[in-house]
Amino acid sequence: MGIEDAARRIAAAGPSPARVARDPVNRPAIRDWLAAIGDDNPVYERDGVAPPAMIQVWTMPGLPGLHDPADPLRAMSGVLDEAGFTSVVATDCAQTYHRYLREGETVAVRGRLTDVTGPKRTALGEGWFVTTDSTWTVDGEPVAEMRFRVLKFRPGTARPAPPPSAPIRPVTSPDTAFFWDGVAAGELRVQRCGDCGALRHPPGPACPWCGALKPEYAVASGGGRIHSYVVHHHPPLPGRRSPVVVALVDLDEGVRMVGELLGVRPDDVRIGAQVRAEFAAGLPAWRPAGQRVLPAWELAVTPTVVVSTALATRDFQDVHHDRDAAVRRGGKDIFLNILTTTGLVQRYVTDWAGPSAVLGGIAIRLGAPCYPGDTLTFTGSACGGEVSVSGRTAAGEHVAGTVRVAS
Ligand code: ZN
């Protein structure tokens, strides 16, 4: 039977029977998880509730050999294993929390196969994307949901990764040096005619209104509105992840300026929206007015971080604790598991939002694997109740995601 036929058969079987967690939600497991993630939010201990990002932990199958044969992801993985797609890496996880779990509650999970797509050529190798939906319940009450996607790939078929490229740097000239000096100083400088006082951008030697060759500059407030924009998808830009939104902004001072628009998904860009200038990485860029920027957080990823978090999330896949096995399966070393990355994203946001924050959901997409020796740097921005998070290593973006903060 072909892979697609097997996928249709497993998907048609619908949700698996409910699998009940081995243990009720309990404080020792919560404490191990908090210690491994490094999360010192006091709310869990105080209120006797579990961190929401632990939802998957409670129903993890445990050591290999204890797998539930009725689990649709397990069934589909078996089909792909037989076809030679024996390696696995998680790529996407979107969790919705209806409420936090309380100590003593016993959860059950049902999963169903929703999509199998392939074969695709990926950076890791030729493989199939397998998507499942899961629902957790307590006494029949839905408490959380998850869409989960893995890539099952054939080891040894990886494309060599292109070397990381640096963003293109601006070229300065005598006419534009004042502008880039301003960017370095955190100022948005606009050229002003020393004779008639008219503002102009882009800079040039002569005033287009009076012809005077007497350039000076004014410091703009940094506020403006989106006049127009484009979304760049292809070709790839050095040092950037597509898509990139580039906006043409009407400054409050009356001139127009181009720059990258940060912190907004392409679908959410609105003509006329208010923006503020920001000076990230030596380039002027724009961000929606009122958006708050989270302080960056750097995590030194050690073997202990990788192994302790894998065990605290009850993920016993060998690639997260056994270096030889990880290399045999096509990795460089052991690497962080997706349950941990979800937990680190939760910690980053609640460290910033404070103990009273209640999370409604976490959705992440994984990119470059995170290995021991990496420094994982989280950055984020918040608009309303939604926080966008990015976690990067020297090799590129490890995780991009959004967190919904309910209160
Ligand atoms: Zn002039």
pLDDT tens for the chain, 407 residues: list them: 689 999 999 999 999 999 999 999 999 999 999 999 999 999 999 999 999 999 999 999 888 655 677 788 889 999 999 999 998 888 999 999 999 999 999 999 999 999 999 999 988 889 999 999 999 999 999 999 999 999 999 987 777 666 667 778 888 998 899 999 999 999 999 999 999 999 999 999 999 999 999 999 999 999 999 999 999 998 888 877 788 999 999 999 999 999 999 988 888 899 999 999 998 778 899 999 988 899 999 999 999 999 999 999 999 999 999 999 999 887 899 999 999 999 999 999 999 999 999 999 999 999 889 999 999 999 999 988 899 999 999 988 899 999 999 86
For residue 404, being part of any structural domain is answered with: no
CB 260 within 8 A of CB 245: yes
Question: 133 and 183 in one domain?
Answer: no
Q: Tell me how far the alpha carbon of residue 197 lies from the centroid of ligand 1, in angstroms.
A: 6
Question: 123 and 55 in one domain?
Answer: yes
Q: Tell me how far the alpha carbon of residue 195 lies from the centroid of ligand 1, in angstroms.
A: 5
| Predicted structure pTM score | 0.83
Q: Which of 290, 312, 346 is the last residue of a domain?
A: 290
CATH number for the domain including 124? 3.10.129.10
Q: Which domain holds residue 41?
A: 3-161+303-335
CATH number for the domain including 239? 2.40.50.840
Neighbours of 65 (CB within 10 A): 7
**Structure tokens given for 354:** 């404070």
Question: 272 and 154 in one domain?
Answer: no
For residue 399, being part of any structural domain is answered with: no
For residue 121, being part of any structural domain is answered with: yes
Question: 125 and 29 in one domain?
Answer: yes
Question: 18 and 157 in one domain?
Answer: yes
Classify residue 99 by its DSSP letter: S
Q: Tell me how far the alpha carbon of residue 250 lies from the centroid of ligand 1, in angstroms.
A: 20
Q: Tell me how far the alpha carbon of residue 210 lies from the centroid of ligand 1, in angstroms.
A: 4
For residue 345, being part of any structural domain is answered with: no
In the sheet that 359-366 helps form, which strands lie side by side, from edge to edge? 19-20, 108-121, 126-138, 141-153, 87-97, 359-366, 396-405, 386-393, 375-383, 292-300
For residue 346, being part of any structural domain is answered with: no
Count of domains observed in the chain: 2
For residue 405, being part of any structural domain is answered with: no
Q: Tell me how far the alpha carbon of residue 214 lies from the centroid of ligand 1, in angstroms.
A: 8
For residue 325, being part of any structural domain is answered with: yes
Question: 248 and 120 in one domain?
Answer: no
Question: 14 and 106 in one domain?
Answer: yes
Question: 331 and 239 in one domain?
Answer: no
Q: Which residues have CB under 8 Å from 361's CB, separation 6+?
A: 94, 95, 96, 97, 403, 404
Q: Tell me how far the alpha carbon of residue 277 lies from the centroid of ligand 1, in angstroms.
A: 26
For residue 326, being part of any structural domain is answered with: yes
